Amino acid sequence: MPRAITFDIESISDSVVRGHIDVNEQELIVVAIHDSLTNEYTSFDKEDLPKLWPILEHADFLIGYNSNSFDIPLLNRYYPGDLTHVPSLDLLVEVQSVLGRRLRLQSLAEATLGRGKSGDGLKAGEWWREGKKDLVREYCIEDVRLTRELYDYAMKHGVLKYKDLRDIRDIKLDTSKWSERKSTVPSMTHAFQL
């Protein structure tokens, strides 16, 4: 069975232009993961990233939400190699390719799982600045949990759900190749000692 790492990051910045977040202006504060090998949820602060790299390097694929355009590029600014060599599955990209538009994680989680996020990224930044780092870690882990459960739901049912005005609608997804993703790179560009 392939080793999948579901992940999410929290970041802070003082620059948000018209609701758009520029990855290059963000400072990473927390990364949370679910490791399918251990079935555990873990979080890493920026200073703990050297402990995260071997886990990502030994993953067969990464699972995230908006991860191809945000999380992976931001992590790559801290990683001494290139994480784009690890195959990834971005659930937002999968949904957008079928639906033709972007949906928030909150929308999919509420309609599919019956519960939503425990906060938002801006609030997490405020908590971090206020020294409430445990709240930020918990929030980030909960986003990973939602992403992982959405992935599992889609794998089992072939759909995710979203609310369109008053109706809950299905997004039919072809998940047949999702778990077949494997790194074609024999070894990562950077290896760390455990």
Mean pLDDT along residues 156-172: 92
Sorting pLDDT into bands at 50, 70 and 90, what band is 19? low
pLDDT at residue 102 tops 70: yes
> Strand 159-164 relative to strand 88-90: parallel, antiparallel, unpaired?
unpaired
User: Could you give all domains of the chain from N- to C-terminal order, each with its CATH number?
Assistant: 4-175 (3.30.420.10)
63-91 pLDDT, tens digit each: 999 999 999 999 999 999 999 999 999 99
CA dihedral 166, 168, 174, 176 (to 10 degrees): 160
Using alpha carbons, select from 87, 6, 78 the residue that is nearest to residue 42. 6
Q: Is the separation of the CB atoms in 45 and 30 below 8 Å?
A: yes
Distance CA 189, CA 21 (A): 28
